[in-house]
Amino acid sequence: MLLCCLLPITSFAATDWSQCTVPVIQPRQDVNYDLFVTEIEADHLSTLDRQYYQLSGDASLIRGDQTIRADQIDYFKDLQQIRAQGNILYADDRYQILAQQVELDDQDRSGSFSGTSFQLYQNHIRGSATEIQQFDADNSLLYDVSYTTCDPGQNTWSINANRLRLNQQTGQGTAYHAVLRVKDIPVFYSPWFMFPITSDRMSGFLPPALSSSDRDGTYLSLPWYWNQAVNYDMTIIPIWYSRRGIQLNTENRYLFDGHQGTLNLSWLDDDLYDDERWFRHWSHQSQLPLDIQTTLLIQRVSDEDFPDDFEHLDAVNDADYLQSKLQMSTTIGGWSTSLLLEEYQTINLDKTPPYRRDPQLSVERLFSFADSGFELDWRNEWVSFDQEDSITGDRLHISTAFSYPLEDTWYFLYPSLQLDYTEYALDNNSNDINDIERSLPLFSVDSGLIFERLASAEHNLIQTLEPRLFLLYVPFEDQQDIPDFDTALLSDSYANLFINNRFSGVDRIGDARQLSFGLTTRVLDQTSSDEIFSASIGQAFYAEDREVSLGNSVDERDKSNLMTLLSYRPYPNWTLQLASVYDQEESESKQTDITIRQRADDQLLNLEYHFRENSLEQSTLSLVYPLAANWTGFAKRQYSILNQKPVQNLVGLSYEGCCWGLQLLYEKASDKDFEEVDRTIYLQLTFKGLTSAGRDIDAILEDGILGYQSRN
């Protein structure tokens, strides 16, 4: 009966309209309207043969969620036509239109509105047009259009166009002679541009980005999005650095039947670096027959400084190594299998590069014998390791673990016997020992009790006491002739007190005759089961020296460092966390992590301290604080006490209005080696429901401030 596509219904559901006086109205989803019944109301009603009705005096026609009111309505029932004049209001769940004259034809879904103003509830859009012509169910044309997302009487910005053509079938709108006005001042003109009016993708320019830094100079990017097809697209991102030159970046995405992936390319003739620089990143996932999952990752850079210089680019990973791999995995008949080829490009030349895996084959399965309660975890792995000027060779590792888990609400008991067999076929090993076999049993018993008491009847709190014992026995076997392909000594932590090997990888299996003890207590809200307080302390005690190592050292201590964990939530918005590793023999801390966090509405406070003996000591203070109804300040000071230089300092302001926003951010940061300090200024201007210009400051804050969340 009425218009179905008069205005663009674009979703801005993620936009924050809380600063607006006119609320956003969401369409009701729980109402079943009868679209076959038309209700007629009026002060005066006349009819001819019940096919033509003339309504006057507070006249209205209602069908489903659609209503039209006017001083006079002529309703031609047989022709399915409506004519209305005088103080016309058309409304449904999505928008409303005020007009002086309306003609509608429900047969071909055409019509015209004269002297209109409109409002879209969900998108907070309002505007006006001298005339609206609807040609059919998909196409309409608006003349002398003006629209904004600002509150009435507050036209901070508006778009004005001579004509506006909307095509719901293609999901595109076309504006002719369009002007962007800020406070009635024209700031941008375009004789013609197209824009999306649905959630479908569309080719076109994306918001530009602007910033300035000591290292790069002025930064300006103008991305172009190319919607090549439904299942693949490209974003072309040229970036101009005043000190480096022009960098060309592309992001290519594709999605085919069982295949999807992303290809990122970057190239720059760097004036500052005095060389050509590039980056390539290809990530691909496939679903093949026999339920085979395939992952392909290829990463390469022109030089070791590229990730640090351009870490703001998507897919660039500022790490010591760039991984490339091909992995295929599937599960057949309960057996999980995986085939991996892997290599790395070394970025940090001070680091020893990881070995290539050419390839790695893994086959494993967990057998559960329900009748007896026994479990068998069988893992098999074969790897061929390769690296220039190093020991190379093949490694076969078979691990069979038998366990008999027992548990209830008040206890657990997990005895396990694991048999590990490893065989090496090596090249270039020392002393010409190239064929090595190793067989070792690993016996462990993990056990714990859970005691519970009522801590406070008034506050409905319960407290638990959870002692835990872990017994581990692994005999010693000399492993100095075995190379280190992929193994490292695990760091001290509370969780690592209760595992059966102190090394990652399988090139070393640590000898052990130890008993690990842990004690945990928790305070819980019995109503909500929320944890208010928890504390854990643990330590391992050794009956013998640990002789297996990655060097020639022997660990002669009779007990491990003391591990402590603490978490406390004194108030719903406050959290205190502590993790500590304490050396009792040296009477000093080896590792400390402290975090204090407060969050309430739009307010956020983080205090952090991190310490690693001889390698790291940093303090961090970060803050997000509302200064006024529309203003928010944010700051961060992350300082390396060890290097006496900033890691990352941030300070900025954000203004959040009804229909526009402004963010300004200053960053001072060191490179990963603490050799250079760079200063950068970011600016972002947002017209809500239209576009934003500048660097994505919210993304920078989300990475830099723990717990920060964008309002949009």
Whole-angstrom distance, CA of residue 270 vs CA of residue 14: 38
- Under 8 Å between Cβ of 688 and 660: yes
- Under 8 Å between Cβ of 68 and 82: yes
DSSP code, position 201: -
Element (H, E) at 328: strand 321-332
pLDDT at 9: 42
Length of the chain: 712
- Mean pLDDT of the region 95-103: 88
pLDDT per position as a tens digit, 548-562: 999 889 999 999 999
| Ranges 122-126, 131-135, 661-665, most confident | 661-665
pLDDT at 184: 85
How many beta carbons lie within 10 A of that of residue 488, not counting itself?
Answer: 12
Nearest to 622 by CA among 603, 608, 635: 635
pLDDT at 29: 54
Nearest to 533 by CA among 558, 565, 580, 497: 565
How many beta carbons lie within 10 A of that of residue 692, not counting itself?
Answer: 21
Residue 34's pLDDT band (cuts 50, 70, 90):
low
For 544-560, give one letter per residue: b (16+ CB within 10 A) or e. eebbbbeeeeebeeeeb
In a domain, 411, yes or no: no
For 312-323, give one letter per residue: b (16+ CB within 10 A) or e. bbebbeeebbbe
The answer to whether residue 577 scores a pLDDT higher than 90 is yes
pLDDT per position as a tens digit, 173-187: 888 999 989 988 998
The answer to whether residue 459 scores a pLDDT higher than 60 is yes
In a domain, 183, yes or no: yes
- Residue 371 has phi, psi (to 5 degrees) of -65, -40
Which is higher by pLDDT, 28 or 154?
A: 154
Range from 189-193, 478-482, 657-661 carrying the lowest mean pLDDT:
189-193
In a domain, 155, yes or no: yes
The answer to whether residue 451 scores a pLDDT higher than 80 is yes
In a domain, 587, yes or no: no
Range from 345-349, 531-535, 620-624 carrying the lowest mean pLDDT:
345-349
Which pairing describes strands 209-213 and 185-196: parallel, antiparallel, or unpaired? unpaired
pLDDT at 672: 82
pTM (2 d.p.): 0.83
pLDDT at 8: 46
* Contacts with 635 (C-beta within 8 Å, 6 or more apart), sequence order: 621, 622, 623, 650, 651, 652
Range from 55-64, 442-451, 522-531, 651-660 carrying the lowest mean pLDDT:
55-64
pLDDT at 36: 65
Distances (CA, A) of 79 to 104, 252, 592, 636: 11, 52, 81, 68
Element (H, E) at 425: strand 411-427
- Under 8 Å between Cβ of 30 and 15: no
Range from 31-35, 284-288, 426-430 carrying the lowest mean pLDDT:
31-35
pLDDT at 1: 41
Give me the amino acid identity at 400: T
pLDDT at 517: 98
Structural domain total, the chain? 1
pLDDT at 12: 44
pLDDT at 28: 57
The answer to whether residue 308 scores a pLDDT higher than 70 is yes
In a domain, 281, yes or no: no
Helices and strands in the chain, H and E counts? 2, 45
Element (H, E) at 296: strand 292-301
* Contacts with 662 (C-beta within 8 Å, 6 or more apart), sequence order: 654, 655, 683, 684, 685, 686
pLDDT at 233: 94
Domain that holds residue 64: 38-202
pLDDT at 220: 93
Instruction: Could you list the beta-strand ranges (E) of 15-138.
Output: 38-41, 44-48, 52-63, 66-76, 81-91, 95-105, 110-120, 125-134
pLDDT at 3: 42
Q: What CATH number is associated with residue 196?
A: 2.60.450.10
* Contacts with 163 (C-beta within 8 Å, 6 or more apart), sequence order: 141, 142, 143, 145, 175, 176, 177
Burial-class residue 82 by CB neighbours within 10 Å (0-12, 13-18, 19+). buried
pLDDT at 35: 60
The answer to whether residue 690 scores a pLDDT higher than 70 is yes
Own/partner contacts of 554-563, CB < 8 Å, gap of 24 or more, are: 557/585, 559/584, 560/492, 560/497, 560/516, 561/492, 561/590, 562/537, 562/538, 563/492, 563/493, 563/494, 563/497, 563/536, 563/537, 563/538, 563/539
Instruction: Could you list the beta-strand ranges (E) of 135-223.
Output: 139-148, 157-167, 172-182, 185-196, 204-205, 209-213, 217-221
Which is higher by pLDDT, 206 or 605?
A: 605
The answer to whether residue 125 scores a pLDDT higher than 90 is no
In a domain, 93, yes or no: yes
In a domain, 184, yes or no: yes
Whole-angstrom distance, CA of residue 238 vs CA of residue 248: 5
- Mean pLDDT of the region 38-67: 84
Instruction: Give me the half-sphere count of Cα atoms (radius 13 Å) on the Cβ side of residue 226.
Output: 10
Quote helix, strand, coil % in the chain, to nearest 5.
5, 60, 35
Gyration radius of the chain over CA positions = 34
- Mean pLDDT of the region 524-533: 91
Range from 128-142, 225-239, 271-285, 531-545 carrying the lowest mean pLDDT:
128-142
pLDDT at 13: 46
* Contacts with 589 (C-beta within 8 Å, 6 or more apart), sequence order: 580, 581, 582, 583, 611, 613
The answer to whether residue 5 scores a pLDDT higher than 60 is no
For 23-43, give one letter per residue: b (16+ CB within 10 A) or e. ebeeeeeeeeeeeeeeeeebe
Give me the amino acid identity at 347: I
pLDDT per position as a tens digit, 200-240: 778 888 888 889 999 999 999 999 999 899 899 999 999 99
In a domain, 76, yes or no: yes
Give me the amino acid identity at 510: G
pLDDT at 152: 87
% of the chain beyond a pLDDT of 90: 59
Burial-class residue 383 by CB neighbours within 10 Å (0-12, 13-18, 19+). buried
**DSSP per residue over 119-150, as a string?**
EETTTTEEEEEEEEEE-SSSEEEEEEEEEESS
Structure tokens, 662: 């402004």
Identify the bridge partners of residue 650 per DSSP, sorted by sequence position: 636, 667
